[in-house]
Structure 1
């Protein structure tokens, strides 16, 4: 990542903090992503705590980077987009209780980048292809190995039901591959095409065949 000075990092944090403070007013709104905490987790990351349905026992947190990998600051609206996206899918996000650490007793997960970004510390988007009616292949630069992976995910359905695709898919895949290719994913390797080094069919993993 491009080196960022302390003054710029402070400015980036204060900018997002000020905007997130406005969302504490939604603590009484069950449909909104109520922000119940914001702290500076590290010089380059912030932690946002969320409280669904006004229930303190269901609190959880996400960590967001203050800067992209090219050294530009994450815009405050992109950070809020990330929080909204995770909140909409919070049941899947915390389904298997995979917490990177805890904050005041609440599970916290790392988010490598914001939904609108094409790159985070795990993956960089290299391309995509909707090569079947039921499959979207994401071509992702896998920084850990220096290769391009082709990952098939289900095409989001038109009927409004749950499905993979978009920001949440990128968030989940980044969390899944952060420490290497999991054994249960390695078993789903398929023949690569000319645009990737390895390919995996993860449609069943997202619950759609």
Structure 2
């Protein structure tokens, strides 16, 4: 009888887990997600938060020490979807990830919880290092960016399944990371997510970037 009871309980929980699914709800407020609004070389941005830095509508590059600056263009050579993608090349001395940093303008969110950040990327070197980052802010201009105890921008942590390494391909591949915004963050006024892509760690690599997404992740139970 005990064995039968254990089997019934096991089957019940297994069925419950199998019935659970995940829903991904796109967040409004992303700008120029497919890099279709401007072609050609990136130019200095005239408005905050990227004022004075090179970029395109919705995006800017605050740190470019690892990049070949003339290579940063919206091009029709490659595209996962639509006609254009963003091309970025690293220089022969590239070794620091954040010195090839692409940032999206802050995106307003409404709820605490899990968020999925994703990009479609292809690279000339499949061993190239790349990382998706995310910070939070109280406003759309990053003037109240959350800082840690050391005074550095606060990076949101991974949720399960934890992403350790992001692997690339010479063909288009979607890379993603999930992060959590807590209820305390929202109550404290941190209602903006700032997605970032760090590419400055490997020399002589050409990246093509397309179709960015920010999605709210919800657990859904099938009936």
Into which bin does the TM-score normalised by the smaller protein fall? Answer: under 0.3
Ranked by relative contact order (alpha carbons within 8 Å, sequence separation 6 or more), the top structure is 2
TM-score (norm 1): 0.22
Q: Which is strand-richer, 1 or 2?
A: 2
| Greater Rg by CA | 2
Calculate the TM-score normalised by the size of structure 2: 0.21
